[in-house]
Amino acid sequence: MNSIDAAWQALRHHKDKIQSVSLNQLFARDGRRFESFSLRLGDLLVDFSKNLITEETLRLLRQTSERADLAQRREATLSGAKVNISEDRAALHTALRAPREAVIKVDGRNIVPDVHGALDRTRAFADAVRNGSVTGAHGAAFRDVVHIGIGGSVLGPAMITQALTPYHHERIRVHFVSNVDGAHLHDTLRELEPETTLFLIASKTFTTQETMLNADSARRWITEALGEDAVARHFAALSSNFEAATRFGIPGERTFAFWDWVGGRYSSWSAVGLPVAIAIGPDGFAALLAGARHMDEHFASAPLEENIPATLGLIGVWYRSILGYASSAIIPYDQRLSRLTAHLQQVDMESNGKSRRLDGTPVTQPTAGVVWGGAGTNVQHSFFQLLHQGSDIVPVDFLVAAQPHEDMPGHHDMLLANCLAQSQALMTGRSLEEAKALLLAEGMVPANATALAPHRTFEGNRPSTTLLYRKLDPRTLGMLIALYEHKVLVQGALWGINSFDQWGVELGKELANRLLPAIKGATPEVADGSTLGLLDDLRRMRDV
């Protein structure tokens, strides 16, 4: 047995020991458990004391990470090595928030000057849109910005823009369109005016089918109202394909490039973040990048015992690969973070939803589970039933700010009380005896109390992590997003997989291209019986 296999085996043996101990017992034994199992970085506190771990658990997980060469994988990624082996690319989204004086080389070239040159252009254009010096074809300042993309080119920017609503420009509204379903673009444009609408088309290659179909429809909406010459004034491209953007009608000065070493799910830090910069301003966007850089520096330099992304990543591996938990939940107690889960689903599941190791062999333990969730307190009245009393254990991340942006008496106090209460309830639970005593105290007759008590019990011992921060500002949000990015890297390193490709999205796209002519009425290529049957019924329904 090699050293990494031995490390995994030690964790499996440790599982048997820890499963007989509850969180309540761990807190009873250690009056300083909170202090020992929490970490701080600036205004961010990460409390992982309510997780099913001990010091021995963490020691074994860190030992496993050392034998999986986590430190080397981290260094290779941050320094620009081509860690995305299936596409022969670096994965250097961290370079997008590097300081100007940094030196990060790809193929022998320092890319940092290029990064800052592109960011400077992006921020300058955002400022011009905000101050009205960039206008539409009739000279009117833009009131609406419609960002068209799909996947990471929308999920991240849309989440960030919504999260930072208190910092928005008072005149400009930012909208996001991603679905090829025409209803998405139609409903977005319904209340907009062509004369005051700017479109941003986000596609690295400027060939993404869904994005370009939406872009063509938006172009038609503009030209029908304002004429062909208006395209150059009402569109900008976030793309590396300047030639295709020019053919579309977007001049070079309105095309903002990013690079093939920027994955879509990490692209918000690049020119794809232009809608964010327009919404919150160049200074706000710079603060977002600075927060992410602060987390990058912490991840790169902090020892494992003090490293927040590494610690959360290791705990995630413990739950998925050793305890066998199939999913985890992200629950921000912040309405403006209601899109965070969707973004982190892509960051996590597209990165680590792999069943092959770097060398092409099958993985030897479960990799990424399902990430899901929603904004508290709404979700307390939907799926929290499952979290508390369901047959599966789902580890939860709670996120909450100590200070709100709004001066609305009573609201934030209640929000905080609910957040803390949920993590406490998941941990402590309620025994059968406690449930029965509560019902008796409420005046229920003993026979009824005995019958009802089992339905009012809570198993407890359900793990959670709480991320508490002073206020959701651009810098803090940057730190939080980067934290989860690095957590995913840590987990991928331990599983020995490539966290930076996404070939799983390709087969469905290929088949869609083959089926499109049949949808339009052509004779279908050879297909399975179900698909052929669906095509026949589809034709009948469309002919009615």
Residue 28 CB neighbour total at 10 angstroms:
10
- The answer, yes or no, to whether residue 361 has pLDDT greater than 60, is yes
Residue-wise pLDDT tens digits, 300-348: 999 999 999 999 999 999 999 999 999 999 999 999 999 999 999 999 9
Question: Which tokens in the block code for residue 444?
Answer: 């229920």
Q: Which one-letter amino acid corresponds to residue 172?
A: I
- Residue 485 in any domain: the answer is yes
Which has the minimum average pLDDT: 173-182, 363-372, 453-462, 535-544? Answer: 535-544
- The answer, yes or no, to whether residue 198 has pLDDT greater than 60, is yes
Which domain CATH number covers 538?
A: 1.10.1390
- 346-362 average pLDDT score: 97
Give yes or no for a contact between 200 and 236, defined as CB atoms under 8 angstroms apart. Answer: yes
Give the total number of structural domains in the chain. 3
Same structural domain for residues 136 and 149?
yes
- 408-420 average pLDDT score: 98
Report the catalytic residues: 350, 381, 509
- Residue 492 in any domain: the answer is yes
Beta-ladder partners of 110: 105
Residues 6 or more apart whose Cβ sits within 8 Å of residue 31: none
Same structural domain for residues 466 and 532?
no
- Residue 258 in any domain: the answer is yes
Residue-wise pLDDT tens digits, 250-309: 999 999 999 999 999 999 999 999 999 999 999 999 999 999 999 999 999 999 999 999
Whose structure tokens read 């060939």? 207
Domain termination residue (choose one: 224, 252, 281): 281
pLDDT at res. 525 = 77
- The answer, yes or no, to whether residue 526 has pLDDT greater than 80, is no
pLDDT interval class at 367 (50, 70, 90): very high
- Residue 139 in any domain: the answer is yes
pLDDT interval class at 215 (50, 70, 90): very high
Same structural domain for residues 132 and 13?
no
- Residue 40 in any domain: the answer is yes
- Residue 453 in any domain: the answer is no
- Which residues span the domain enclosing 344? 3-67+302-428+462-501
What is the distance between the alpha carbons of residues 103 and 80, in angstroms, rounded to a whole number? Answer: 10
- The answer, yes or no, to whether residue 379 has pLDDT greater than 60, is yes
**Coil/strand/helix, residue 516:** helix
- Residue 89 in any domain: the answer is no
pLDDT at res. 277 = 98
For 315, phi and psi rounded to 5 degrees? -60, -40
Which domain CATH number covers 55?
A: 3.40.50.10490
Q: Report the DSSP pairing between strands 144-148 and 464-469.
A: unpaired
**Coil/strand/helix, residue 517:** helix
Q: Which one-letter amino acid corresponds to residue 225?
A: A
Residue-wise pLDDT tens digits, 65-123: 999 999 999 999 999 999 999 999 999 999 999 999 999 999 999 999 999 999 999 99
Mean pLDDT of the chain: 96
Same structural domain for residues 422 and 514?
no
Edge-to-edge strand list for the sheet holding 173-177: 173-177, 144-148, 197-202, 235-238, 255-256
- 149-172 average pLDDT score: 97
Domain termination residue (choose one: 224, 251, 281): 281
Same structural domain for residues 138 and 251?
yes
- The answer, yes or no, to whether residue 524 has pLDDT greater than 90, is no
Q: Which one-letter amino acid corresponds to residue 300?
A: A
- The answer, yes or no, to whether residue 221 has pLDDT greater than 80, is yes
Same structural domain for residues 353 and 374?
yes
- Residue 91 in any domain: the answer is no
pLDDT at res. 328 = 98
Same structural domain for residues 468 and 346?
yes
- 481-507 average pLDDT score: 96
pLDDT at res. 3 = 84
pLDDT at res. 1 = 63
For the chain, the maximum distance between any two Cα atoms, rounded to a whole number of angstroms, is: 81
- 30-46 average pLDDT score: 97
Same structural domain for residues 226 and 239?
yes
- The answer, yes or no, to whether residue 527 has pLDDT greater than 90, is no
Residue-wise pLDDT tens digits, 469-493: 999 999 999 999 999 999 999 999 9
Same structural domain for residues 323 and 234?
no
Measured in whole angstroms, the distance separating CA 16 from the mean position of its chain's CA atoms is 33
Give yes or no for a contact between 317 and 325, defined as CB atoms under 8 angstroms apart. Answer: no
